[in-house]
Amino acid sequence: MLRKRSAGSSSRSKTLLPDLKTFRTAVDALRTKLDGECAGVRDADGLEDLRNRYLGRKRGSVTLLFDQMKTLPAADKPAAGQMLNVLKTKVQEKLAALEESLRRPATRGPEIDPTLPGERLAWGAAHPLRIFQREIESIFEEMGFGIEDGPEIESDYYNFEALNFPPHHPARDDWDTIYLGGDLLLRTHTSPVQIRVMEKRKPPIRIIIPGKVYRRETPDPTHAAMFFQVEGLVVDRGITFAHLKGTLEHFLKRLFGDKLKTRFRPSFFPFTEPSAEVDIECLACGQKDPACRVCNGTGWKEILGSGMVDPQVFKNVNIDPEQYSGWAFGMGVERIAMFAYGIPDIRHFYENDLRFNRQFQLK
Ligand code: PHE
């Protein structure tokens, strides 16, 4: 009986599975079918049923393939056997993984209620100072300026000496800072980057340098021990004070509006000659309130320092002052932002109170 059935099935199988190629197709098809059926299993009963249909000792699909393998030509049997063993292992693994995943929800605790509102994640955003700095950068980029960067820990040479502050000169007192020992200090302005750039590169130079600077200050509404500056530097043949004036006026009008009144007031910096501080009209009182707290009734607000690069500075970086001239400026980012937005206390910028920060958005 047994032999007869196997003889019968083998003659049928021979026509169904004449060679290794067809056999492989049958093995692949079974594997694909299993994937589909696994996805449909919802519980332990379904899993048991699936296991029987594939691995059942008599009628399991995999078992039947083992039977059919015997009908292949002798030369094909080793390859077919290997194929089937791989298939069998795969099926066992799949079923085991399925069993595991059916068990997991029970140990995972209560089911998730997908109708509950989700947790809201706050989007990150640029800090108001960064936003303002970008606005400044983009105006200068429109005018063809590049952006440079330099170290916040500087040597005495770059922060002072190369900028024409002799040792012990009283001008240094206005730029007192934190000394780190040896020759190093936290830079008091972005001007040392002027030197670093001019050492590396020959004119024409047209750059701005945004960055953090440090001063020995007791914090109050208008002073902080760390704040941001944007430096500017232009060097080429034939550069005059008129270029400085035109560029800065254009910049300030782009920032504060076309009708803005500006004025250049003589000043002193060791590294520029002549030097000027630039004031803009007080937008808080419209130059009308003698008791204005923003401009102290003067009608003007000092916004930046500037001047023509001192010939001595050019000599320090081996640029010939007979051939080249240039100008530079430096402005406090907080100060301008405070003025533009009517922010009364510089410390708001560093407290990271989101009620403050969220009031500013990138345009
Ligand atoms: N570095 C100066 C300061 O911090 C500003 C400045 C820069 C002035 C460049 C003139 C030229 O006050």
72 and 16 both lie in a single domain: yes
Quick check: is 116 in a domain? Answer: no
Does the pLDDT value for residue 40 go beyond 80? yes
Tell me the β-bridge partners of 231: 209, 330
Counted domains in the chain: 2
161 and 310 both lie in a single domain: yes
Which tokens hold the place of 302?
Answer: 């000092």
Measured CA to CA, the distance from residue 200 to residue 148 in angstroms comes to 12
- Decide: 189 in ligand 1 pocket, CB within 6 A: yes
What does the pLDDT read at residue 3?
43
Residue with CA at minimum distance from ligand 1 atom 10: 306
- Decide: 305 in ligand 1 pocket, CB within 6 A: yes
* Mean pLDDT for the stretch of residues 300-305: 94
Domain of residue 57, residue span: 2-103
Does the pLDDT value for residue 16 go beyond 70? no
Contacts of 179 (CB under 8 A, 6+ apart): 185
State the distance from the centre of ligand 1 to the C-alpha of 81, rounded, in angstroms. 84
- Decide: 150 in ligand 1 pocket, CB within 6 A: no
326 and 179 both lie in a single domain: yes
For ligand 1, what atom is nearest to the CA of residue 331?
A: 5
154 and 235 both lie in a single domain: yes
Give the end of a domain, one of 41, 68, 103: 103
93 and 136 both lie in a single domain: no
Three state DSSP letters for the chain? CHHHHHHHHHHHHHHHCCCHHHHHHHHHHHHHHHHHHHHHCCCHHHHHHHHHHHHCCCCCHHHHHHHHHCCCCHHHHHHHHHHHHHHHHHHHHHHHHHHHHHHHHHHCCCCCCCCCCCCCCCCCCCCHHHHHHHHHHHHHHHCCCEECCCCCEEEHHHHCHHHCCCCCCHHHHHHCCCEEECCEEECCCCCHHHHHHHHHCCCCEEEEEEEEEECCCCCECCECCEEEEEEEEEEECCCCHHHHHHHHHHHHHHHHCCCCCEEEEEEEECCEEEEEEEEEECCCCCCCCCCCCCCCCCCEEEEEEEEEECHHHHHHCCCCCCCCEEEEEEEEHHHHHHHHHCCCCCCHHHHCCHHHHCCCCCC
Residue with CA at minimum distance from ligand 1 atom 2: 330
> Which amino acid belongs to residue 184?
L
For residue 32, name the pLDDT band (cuts at 50, 70, 90).
confident
Under 8 Å between Cβ of 162 and 313: yes
Does the pLDDT value for residue 346 go beyond 90? yes
92 and 133 both lie in a single domain: no
Quick check: is 114 in a domain? Answer: no
Does the pLDDT value for residue 12 go beyond 70? no
- Decide: 194 in ligand 1 pocket, CB within 6 A: no
Give 82-91 pLDDT, tens digit per residue: 888 998 899 8
Quick check: is 304 in a domain? Answer: yes
Which tokens hold the place of 63?
Answer: 């078992």
State the distance from the centre of ligand 1 to the C-alpha of 188, rounded, in angstroms. 10
State the distance from the centre of ligand 1 to the C-alpha of 177, rounded, in angstroms. 15
190 and 279 both lie in a single domain: yes
For residue 149, name the pLDDT band (cuts at 50, 70, 90).
very high
Number of other residues whose CB lies within 10 A of the CB of residue 296:
12
- Decide: 326 in ligand 1 pocket, CB within 6 A: no
159 and 256 both lie in a single domain: yes
- Decide: 328 in ligand 1 pocket, CB within 6 A: yes
* Mean pLDDT for the stretch of residues 328-339: 94
Burial environment of residue 184 by CB neighbours within 10 A (0 to 12, 13 to 18, 19 or more)? middle
C-alpha closest to that of 303 among 288, 275, 281: 281
Quick check: is 120 in a domain? Answer: no
What does the pLDDT read at residue 18?
62
Of 189, 190, 226, 272, which is best to mutate to test ligand 1, by the most ligand atoms within 8 angstroms of its C-beta? 189
Number of other residues whose CB lies within 10 A of the CB of residue 161:
16
137 and 37 both lie in a single domain: no
- Decide: 306 in ligand 1 pocket, CB within 6 A: yes
Question: Minimum mean pLDDT among 234-238, 259-263, 341-345: which range?
Answer: 341-345
Measured CA to CA, the distance from residue 118 to residue 115 in angstroms comes to 9
Does the pLDDT value for residue 8 go beyond 50? no
290 and 194 both lie in a single domain: yes
Residue with CA at minimum distance from ligand 1 atom 9: 329
Quick check: is 115 in a domain? Answer: no
Quick check: is 147 in a domain? Answer: yes
The CB-side HSE value for 94 (13 A sphere, CA atoms) comes to: 23
State the distance from the centre of ligand 1 to the C-alpha of 264, rounded, in angstroms. 14
Quick check: is 39 in a domain? Answer: yes
Give 166-217 pLDDT, tens digit per residue: 888 888 887 888 899 889 999 999 999 999 999 999 999 999 999 999 999 8
45 and 181 both lie in a single domain: no
Quick check: is 199 in a domain? Answer: yes
Give 205-253 pLDDT, tens digit per residue: 999 999 999 999 899 988 999 999 999 999 999 999 999 999 999 999 9
Does the pLDDT value for residue 2 go beyond 50? no
State the distance from the centre of ligand 1 to the C-alpha of 347, rounded, in angstroms. 22
Does the pLDDT value for residue 363 go beyond 80? no
- Decide: 272 in ligand 1 pocket, CB within 6 A: yes
* Mean pLDDT for the stretch of residues 274-301: 92
Give 83-127 pLDDT, tens digit per residue: 889 988 998 898 888 888 888 765 566 778 888 888 888 788 889
Does the pLDDT value for residue 47 go beyond 60? yes
What does the pLDDT read at residue 134?
94
Does the pLDDT value for residue 13 go beyond 80? no
For ligand 1, what atom is nearest to the CA of residue 194?
A: 9
60 and 189 both lie in a single domain: no
Does the pLDDT value for residue 275 go beyond 60? yes
What does the pLDDT read at residue 73?
85
For ligand 1, what atom is nearest to the CA of residue 232?
A: 9
